[in-house]
Chains A and B, each alone.
Chain A
Amino acid sequence: KNQVEQSPQSLIILEGKNCTLQCNYTVSPFSNLRWYKQDTGRGPVSLTIMTFSENTKSNGRYTATLDADTKQSSLHITASQLSDSASYICVVSDRGSTLGRLYFGRGTQLTVWP
């Protein structure tokens, strides 16, 4: 069964600190992996996307890593800001269908305190 598991479920950090969010998946055949940021009451917004051959991708203070062998990904946030408070969702796409089905994790709820 294709699944995406994220940890931790929630995380509280102080402004300026770094943090790392984890994602494990069993989706096969693998196409790509995305990290989305979803603010409360809003739709998800894509942060990074990585294909099988990529093992790291940065977008400003966000750096994602991918280990396709162990089927693990992480999202590292550097020098956190209050505006980073949101849910971070790991999404894996398979290449076994024309639809390009997306499999969503439940997200990690990050809260940044001043």
Chain B
Amino acid sequence: AQTVTQSQPEMSVQEAETVTLSCTYDTSENNYYLFWYKQPPSRQMILVIRQEAYKQQNATENRFSVNFQKAAKSFSLKISDSQLGDTAMYFCAFMKQYGGSQGNLIFGKGTKLSVKP
């Protein structure tokens, strides 16, 4: 079975600074996808960034980038130039590419990020 661990329940950062959220996962699969979702107080889960395991290059979306270390099973999220609107719960998620239960997202417990003015 796959598991996703987010070891930082809460973090805070000053506006305009950079913050890194950690995520590790455990799987015996070789082909899979990893995601970071953001959930503001409105409850709407919003995709921040995704990474295909077969790609060595780290994904980047504007101020958001990941550090994907496949051998270490690590998938951290870096937020640059933090903005007040980045305040939210951040969830790391894993999805198998093949086999039973493919398509089902397995989530970590989340990290609550507060951006302070």
Are the chains A and B members of one assembly? no
Chain B residues in the interface with A (C-beta under 8 A):
none
Chain A residues in the interface with B (C-beta under 8 A):
none
